[in-house]
Amino acid sequence: MTLTGHHFIAGREAAPHGHQFHAFNPATSAQLEPTYGDASHAEADEALRAADAAFDTLRLAVPETRAALLDAIADEIMTLGDALLERAHAECALPMARLTGERGRAVGQCKLFASLIREGSWADARVDHALPDRQPLPKPDVRRVMMPIGPVVVFGASNFPFAIGVVGTDTVCALAAGCPVVVKGHPAHPGTCEMLGRAVLNALHRVGLPAGCFSLLHGKSNDIGTTLVKHPLTQAVGFTGSLRGGRALMDVAAARAHPIPVYAEMGSVNPVFVLPGALKERAAKLAEAYIGSVTMGVGQFCTNPAVVLGLKSDALRQFITNAAALAAKSAPQTMLHRGISEAYDAGTAVWQTINGLQLAGQSETPPSETASQAACRIFTTTIDVLEGNAELQREVFGPCSIITQCPTLEDMLRYANSLEGQLTATLHGTVEDLREFAPLVRVLEKKVGRIIFNGFPTGIEVCSSMHHGGPYPAASHSFFTSIGTASIYRFVRPVCYQGFPEEALPELLQDANPRGAMRIVDGEMKR
């Protein structure tokens, strides 16, 4: 595929204009062609008007048509072949093996949501039949089902160009629900975005749905993103990125005449609590798994385990020694772009100025400045230093982590109680540890979206049970997930029908239930 630098606006290609920019290879600093440009306010308006015009066609399409669209997107992604992987590698410096796996995840998400909407139970259909003879008053016929909300604006993430990008969960579940999508492409990998955008347009053409169901706009400045969120036809926003970026979009959306939800996933420090039984049983293996998690993807995950807490002991000191030695052996790796590597170095430089925080170990090989590389850095400190410095409560995006020594369980509990909202928290221990440290689990249930036992938070399983979110500031709304099939509920709302004749009801609310979806009928879950 020849890249053009064009925006895709409901099937129309628009050449770049205004402020222009290029992608750069982070490993070589080489400029990549073609030239891209910031979309204009008029182009944003055109895209959202086209999305609104296509909304009824998409939402009223039978589920099989929307499922076929998702299957077609999956096929078109694979049709791009190695060229897609090579462009993403050039723009993001992610290893080819990682990109191959992430492409599989993106394709798998398409097929997962296709199966979801074919069966239909996700729509939470509820039927309460009329009881005309009920005394003292008759009961009306009341039925409820989830319906799509309208055009959705999606902001692609920098660290997952496929799975949380143009064809990521936000886009896929919005289309599955029946919502047209306008994607603001990520400026660090615009070529990858263009290739995937064309795949979606090809899929729409294959199944006969209007091109207005999808648009892709490029932009490096914040202006185009703000314009999209402010637009009166935008009904919801999906965002994965920094707290500053997510909060800015939340504030813009809240200031509208008609506020809309911004479903922002914004990261956290993801505390790990290493309990005595785990250190006694497997200290060496635990240190190895920990460093593997910290350095996975060059630490460029919102679930990176940035803070570890354990009870002060010889076993914990040995764990620190083991982790530091493994960090030294970890070679520096290239980050997604120079801005991220510079922010990582600046953040860990601030840490090194804090009295009582020591650098326990870092990559022996110095990072290459020309390749925007990051060294693994493991720090150690005490609980009073961790609690006394606000800088240590904020995420530093990259392969770094702080191991904290706590004198007592009460110290761990106090820290857990002081936590802001987190995406994850992790416990390493034994069944006996869980009994002894049960109060810690109770605290974490109030603070995080996902609690892991004897694992690490990096690596998220895409399934119906997954919850990737948490109380603010980890995410903008703790009720919703950005990963897994439950993410579809961000882009639907319940509509209730009272007294409607059978033939006028949506299919999922008809007594015949032709798709055999699970529903609540007169208070009973049944097919």
Query: Each residue's pLDDT tens digit in the chain (527 positions)?
Result: 899 999 999 999 999 987 999 999 999 999 999 999 999 999 999 999 999 999 999 999 999 999 999 999 999 999 999 999 999 999 999 999 999 999 999 999 999 999 999 999 999 999 999 999 999 999 999 999 999 999 999 999 999 999 999 999 999 999 999 999 999 999 999 999 999 999 999 999 999 999 999 999 999 999 999 999 999 999 999 999 999 999 999 999 999 999 999 999 998 999 999 999 999 999 999 999 999 999 999 999 999 999 999 999 999 999 999 999 999 999 999 999 999 999 999 999 999 999 999 999 999 999 987 889 999 999 999 999 999 999 998 899 999 999 999 999 999 999 999 999 999 999 999 999 999 999 999 999 999 999 999 999 999 999 999 999 999 999 999 999 999 999 999 999 999 999 999 999 999 999 999 999 999 999 999 99
Any bridge partners for residue 494, and if so which?
146
The pLDDT, as a whole number, for residue 369 is 74
Tokens of 228: 């999209």
Q: What is the DSSP letter of 9?
A: E
The pLDDT, as a whole number, for residue 201 is 98
Q: Is 340:299 a contact under the CB 8 Å cutoff?
A: no
148: preceding bond cis by omega (within 30 degrees): no
CB atoms within 10 A of CB 257: 6
Q: Is 231:258 a contact under the CB 8 Å cutoff?
A: no
Q: Is 451:428 a contact under the CB 8 Å cutoff?
A: no
Tokens of 124: 């939470």
The pLDDT, as a whole number, for residue 204 is 98
The pLDDT, as a whole number, for residue 18 is 77
Tokens of 140: 């009306």
Residues designated catalytic: 265, 302
Q: Of 231, 234, 215, whose CA–CA distance to 223 is shortest?
A: 231
The pLDDT, as a whole number, for residue 313 is 96
Element (H, E) at 498: strand 492-498
The dihedral built from the CA positions of residue 293, 297, 300 and 303, taken in this order, carries a sign that is negative
Alpha carbon separation from 292 to 192, 273, 285, 304, 415 (Å, rounded)? 28, 17, 11, 10, 25
Q: Of 201, 170, 174, whose CA–CA distance to 186 is shortest?
A: 170
Q: How far apart are CA 211 and CA 27, in angstroms?
A: 36
Residue 25, SS3?
Answer: coil
Q: How far apart are CA 227 and CA 154, in angstroms?
A: 13
Domains and their CATH numbers in the chain:
8-21+36-266+480-490 (3.40.605.10), 272-453 (3.40.309.10), 501-526 (no CATH)
Give Cβ neighbours of residue 220 (< 8 Å, ≥ 6 apart).
19, 21, 36, 38, 187
Any bridge partners for residue 7, and if so which?
14
Counted residue by residue, the chain has a size of 527
